[in-house]
Amino acid sequence: MTLKTFLIGMLASFGLAWMFMIAIPVAKMGELPPVKMNDEEDAAYYQRKTSGRILNGAKIYASNGCYTCHSQLIRPTYLGHQIWRDDIAGVVNEDGDTRRETSVYDYTGEKYAQIGLMRMGPDLSNFGHRAEAYAAKLGISAEQWIAAHLHNPRSNELRRGAQGEKIDMTWSNCPSQPQMFDEKEPIGQGDSLALAGKTASGQQVVPGEQARVLASYLLSLKRDDALPTSMDYSPKQPQESK
């Protein structure tokens, strides 16, 4: 084998895979055509709507390594049962059933899909809905709830069961993020996102900029909007779909 044959072989073997695994798929995925909601002539085009400080929040999410323990992917049913786990893939209530798999548009507004490495913690694809539900039980806003959770994920004050009983969360191995919080002298009614209680010196614990954008991003995680019928593989019954 000469160096020339070697180089040609290297170029061919690696180049072929590089073209078909990287270059062409990336180019194709970069120009997804718009999809109509259904087969009707005048159907609207699907548009994924997001709100919140997604780009900034995703950066905090990435740099603090949330993705090492939390996934953001509801896999199809041939890859497991996560879609049926309560509150993970969508919301089931008297208004209907929004559970569905992750779609290709769900990461709109982000630069990198944080699919995640491990599920040490639960999937966050629909964390926004869960945070709102937990907060409603305590009578606080969802941002407040997320801030309190970031400050101490093992707090027993944050989760209430069906009868309003406290749910033990001390088993959680989620890291707390005290560096995202500041201690401030309360002024007037105080900060609306300040944590409950005061420090020994009478200061309020107030989420800083990082906690605020992260909370905004986490609250935006509601990946259960109605998909075009051609893309919707959700397990809900056809008569239930709207």
Partner 1 sequence: MPTLSHDSTTEDTQLRSEIDRSLRHPVMFFFTSGAAWLAVSLVLGIIASAKTHSPGFLGECSWFQYGRSFPAHINALVYGWGAQAAFGVMIWLMARLSRQPSRNAGTLLVAGHIWNLAVTLGVVGILLGHGSGKHWMEFPTFVWPVLLAAYACIAIWVMISFRVRRGDHIYISQWYLLGATLWFPWIYLTANLYVNVFDVHPLMAAAVNGWFRQAMVFLFFTPVAIASAYYITAKITARAIYNYAYSVGGFWALAIIAPWAGMHVVMGAPIPMFLQNTGAAATMLAAVPLLFAGVNILKTTSGHADLAAHSPSLRFTVAGVFGMIALAILGVILAHPAAARYTQFSLAGYGYEVLALYGFFSMCMFGAIYFIVPRVTRREWLSRRLIRTHFWFSVYGVLLIVLFCTLLGAFQQGAAQENHVQPWKQAVNSTYPFAVGTTLAWCAILYANIFFFLHLTLMWLRLGRRSSHPTLLRRDHSALGPHGPEGDVDELESAGA
What residues line the site for partner 1 (CB under 8 A)?
1, 3, 6-7, 9-10, 13-14, 16-18, 21-22, 25-26, 28-30, 32, 59, 61-69, 71, 73, 75-76, 79-82, 84-86, 101-104, 106-107, 110-122, 154, 171-179
Count of CB atoms within 10 A of residue 88's CB?
A: 20
Residue 187 CB, nearest approach to partner 1 (Å): 26
Residue 134 CB, nearest approach to partner 1 (Å): 14
Residue 241 CB, nearest approach to partner 1 (Å): 19
Residue 35 near residue 46, CB atoms below 8 Å? yes
- Given phi > 0 = left and psi -120 to 50 = alpha, else beta, which region is 84? alpha
Nearest to 174 by CA among 135, 112, 116, 119: 119
Identify which of residues 22 and 44 has a Cβ nearer to partner 1 in the complex.
22
Residue 204 CB, nearest approach to partner 1 (Å): 18
Whole-angstrom distance, CA of residue 92 vs CA of residue 94: 7
Identify which of residues 62 and 133 has a Cβ nearer to partner 1 in the complex.
62
Strands 96-97 and 92-93: antiparallel
Identify which of residues 78 and 187 has a Cβ nearer to partner 1 in the complex.
78
Q: Tell me the residue ranges of DSSP E strands in 12-133.
A: 92-93, 96-97
Residue 229 CB, nearest approach to partner 1 (Å): 16
Identify which of residues 102 and 204 has a Cβ nearer to partner 1 in the complex.
102
Q: How far from the centroid of its chain's Cα atoms is residue 200's Cα?
A: 35
